[in-house]
Structure 1
């Protein structure tokens, strides 16, 4: 199947009998569900994937636009309608899959009917939050009832555990098997992601200091279509490109002199923390606590402020051999410890 659902057969061994069926419920965001499904298949599961917020067919797209998106933009709250639609489809997919276990990622538009179906069926389950708690509408009471809960942030896993939730820390990761397009090496720094004021300030400081830098994404792009899509006529005066798919983003960051990773107020480390070094890129990251995963100065570079980023940026552009040593060390560490397969193996001990 394609679109909102498909199956990945087991690739590992979990005993001599039938492979257990895992129902993976995920947002469509950047296609991460494909990589995660392959990682769980390597644990010996037959994985059926359902993307609860993907509207794959033309009628679904039209319904989403006419009944949900346009009214929302006009100020009409259609959240309940979206939850009802996403939940109805997820329940139908769950019943069709007849799984042995359920792994839900985020699940932010799944209603009570879906969770009741899982609980009443007595299915072992995991809820994986791979971004901040503040981006979810889950109460502690709900999480205590539905756990185990896996959080990408150690601090939030500890917070939830203190509130009586069966919570565990599971960092993000990357997919080493993703096929990358060919991208020529560029002597510039790149940033791929959303445009926030702190990111504009950082990239502008680099450009004004003479460090070549390029941003990727619709909020940075000067293309007229992207200006219309975002209802903005002005853009930062920076070299910029349009949105690119995940595999191209991997390749662009690997080919650049350095890839900038700006977290802002996120509690845990974003996927990019592992993607950039994992794909052979030289990461310049704003979080000293990256030392939990990589050795600063040897496997990644940590910057303290804009001026420090300028200093490091100038050096990685001027001394490519220095950067090569760091990127190779970061790649080796990533493949040895930080793939989605490593995360999937770790999570197996937490099933209810």
Structure 2
């Protein structure tokens, strides 16, 4: 049994999902969540500015190494004291607990000197970035101090290695304890999407709504808020058709699983940062035994048998045709769902990813 300290953003319960996988493999895990901005009025006013800048820049910021860092760091610069305290607490836990492994997830708030000090304390320090690693200055600056460095995005590998970081591709994963078929599930809608509506997704979904006005389509996720007039104008005035499909709140993973079970087609459009890789949603839909139409990516072709285990689309015309086709072919959707679930259970769980990391570290 190895001792782990696991730290990362408290995002969709991924920290606890990874910790659960490690515990099922027989290891001891201590979890430290990264800090998030508080919900006070000063923070909200600053986030208004951040959200406006980010909404304009996001399609471009994902495209070159470290280019998003100024926008990303803008969000956190007013909580620098909390970030420093987080780094102190992380190092304190490592020095007191003496873990064999520190698993850092995303790592955008971990100072390079903290990574170096944890390594000097005797731990094997591992990075797994489920966002594009080249976006974050701290991740790039600390890269050389990690004993293992993984990224979900294959196109990260070359620019990372040019910076002296020996990076490896490690796809995202899913938690089979959370995403699974539900026996009593009733179909409630034609299509669904759960997640943030970045500009690319808005374009795709507006096209879907224009071409399929008679189909039921619901989107879950917090897209606007009361303190951001730009987003209120966009959704309440400028784009009412899209707004009418949105349930404007974030939901827990268990509810996401229910939605995937209740929908005939689960749509999956990647962010700009996914040039070649695929997101967690790809695996979670399959784990729930849902049928998805997902944007085709090279990593999907590498990890799945396209046309047998997973259905992909190439552009909005292809997506529109496949929506019409698969809504009329229930049995084909069912077969995709069965084969896709078998594929992710076999090789794409968090336990699979944790075992890969342990194997690379020499099965400590």
Which TM-score tier does this pair reach, normalised by the shorter chain? 0.7 to 0.9
Q: Does 1:245 align with 2:252?
A: yes
CA contact (8 A) 2:226 2:232 kept: yes
Task: List, as ranges, runs of 4+ consecutive aligned residues in structure 1 with deviation greater than 6 Å.
Answer: 179-182
Change (3 A) 1:94 1:303: same
Whole-Å separation in 1 of the counterparts to 2:139 and 2:252: 33
* Structure-2 change in CA distance of 1:48 and 1:264 (3 Å): closer
Q: 1:131 to 1:324 in 2, by over 3 A?
A: same
Q: Distance in 1 between matches of 2:150 and 2:92?
A: 25
Q: Distance in 2 between matches of 1:213 and 1:306?
A: 16
1:39 aligns with 2:21: yes
Distance 1:251 1:145, change over 3 A: same
SS at match of 2:219: strand
In 2: Cα distance, 1:245 partner to 1:78 partner:
28
Question: For residues 255 and 197 of structure 2, what CA distance do their matches in structure 1 show?
Answer: 19
Moved more, 74-83 or 239-248: 74-83
CA contact (8 A) 1:52 1:89 kept: no
Partner of residue 88, structure 1: 88
Note if contact 1:188-1:213 (Cα within 8 Å) is conserved in structure 2. yes
Shifted more, 88-97 versus 267-276: the winner is 88-97
Structure 2 counterpart of 1:270: 279
RMSD (Å) for aligned C-alpha atoms: 2.6
TM-score, normalized by length of structure 2? Answer: 0.79
SS at match of 2:226: helix
Equivalenced residue count is: 321
Counterpart CA distance in 2 for 1:201 and 1:140 is 32
1: CA distance between counterparts of 2:139 and 2:178?
36
Query: 2: CA distance between counterparts of 1:79 and 1:54?
Result: 9
**Which deviations, in whole Å up to 9, do the C-alpha atoms of 1:276-300 show, x marking residues without a partner?**
1111011111124211122222222
Q: What does 1:3-18 align with in structure 2 at a 5 Å threshold?
A: none
The offset of 1:350, in angstroms, is 2.6
TM-score, with structure 1 as normaliser:
0.82
Q: Mapping of 1:200-239 within 5 angstroms?
A: 200-210=202-212, 211-219=215-223, 226-228=224-226, 230-231=228-229, 232-234=231-233, 235=235, 236=239, 237-238=241-242, 239=245
Distance 2:166 2:344 in 1: 28
- 1:126-205 map, 5 Å: 126-138=126-138, 140=140, 142-178=142-178, 184-205=186-207
Q: By how many angstroms is 1:48 displaced?
A: 0.8
| Secondary structure of 1:346 counterpart | helix
Name the SS of the counterpart of 1:189 in structure 2: strand
